[in-house]
Structure 1
Amino acid sequence: MELKIGDKIPNFKLNDANGNLFESSSLLGKPSVIYFYPKDNTAGCTAQACSFRDQYEDFKDLGAAVIGISSDSVSSHQKFAKQYKLPFVLLSDASKKIRKLFGVPTGMFGLIPGRVTYVADKEGIIKMIFDSMMPKNHISNALKAIKKM
């Protein structure tokens, strides 16, 4: 099942880069950007994470949370976040259960986990879905969607 605009962000729990349990219900009350990406420390994913980092204050000024999710381990996320000074939450979806819950498709003929960004309002209703393997386009599209709210 693939989430669509107008759907509510499903409830889920995952460990963050510090090993703490993150609950999606904590996003209620503020706009949120949840982006799924293929892998820590790859060229495209690093560029995407650093672009979110560089514009993080813009998202924060609009009251929005930014959450990155991949199937990398907690320790991989911890190193990735530290190395690139990422100020937002990275979640470890090692089982790919949450990726499946959202219905994130695979890219490159099923060889690479997909890269999809979801923007939800403060009630958790999805207002924008951006599915593209082009990493940098996700940030500008997410920011535009948040500004429209």
Structure 2
Amino acid sequence: MSENYFPLPADLPVPIDDGAATHLTDAALPDLVLSSTDGSAINLGRLSGLWVIYVYPMTGRPGIHLPDGWDGIPGARGCTPQSCSFRDHFSELGVLGAGVFGLSSQTTEYQLEARNRLHLPFELLSDTALRLESVLGLPTFTVAAMRLFKRLTLIAENGRIRKVFYPVFPPDQNAEEVLLWLREHAAD
């Protein structure tokens, strides 16, 4: 399924690496419980095995406008195409032994609508209080009086972050980058 409800404009500004995620490699995932779209509570610090956790600002909805200036914020646009890319590569990630979570500060109810509409075969996690900003130091930005996570992707194994993709651009190719990294580092 390669339905893409929000194609990316060709002239999006490219985000720069501001160093806001360099401290994350080799860090432990925190003992932090987040709500999941399946109704469960996921403790990041207790995840065992291999996990891809892609963190994004916010998904859009058909018929609802994104905040003014959204396309001009480097790295903001592309949450839905990124999610669709992980959906489309989900089985390949599974063959490599990786589970997938998407994560944003949007409510679980909001994310459940996106998960269902986009036919995502994995759960989305909600951190409405942006606890990962304070506990793990995830980078954020502010737009329209909302503080949102900057887009990044973590590969974690048995509770420790092995790889950080930051900045992620273009977001619709992030899943392919993750697959390439996993294939190259499978025996590490």
TM-score range, shorter chain: 0.7 to 0.9
- The alignment's TM-score, normalised by the length of structure 2, stands at 0.69
Query: Which residue of 2 is the match for residue 139 of structure 1?
Result: 175
Conserved 8 A contact 1:70-1:91: yes
Distance 1:59 1:95 in 2: 29
Written as runs of structure 1 = structure 2, the 5 A alignment for 1:1-149 is: 3-28=23-48, 30-41=49-60, 44-107=78-141, 110-111=142-143, 113-121=149-157, 123-134=158-169, 135-147=171-183, 148-149=185-186
Question: How many aligned positions are there?
Answer: 145
How high is the sequence identity, in percent, across the aligned residues?
30
- Greater mean deviation of Cα atoms: 66-75 or 9-18: 9-18
User: How far did 1:74 drift?
Assistant: 1.0
Moved over 4 A (4+): none
Segments of 5+ residues of structure 1 without an aligned counterpart are none
Q: Secondary structure at the match of 1:87?
A: coil
- The alignment's TM-score, normalised by the length of structure 1, stands at 0.86
Distance 2:133 2:52 in 1: 15
Conserved 8 A contact 1:31-1:146: no
Q: Secondary structure at the match of 2:178?
A: helix
Q: Secondary structure at the match of 2:31?
A: coil
Query: RMSD of the TM alignment (CA)?
Result: 2.1
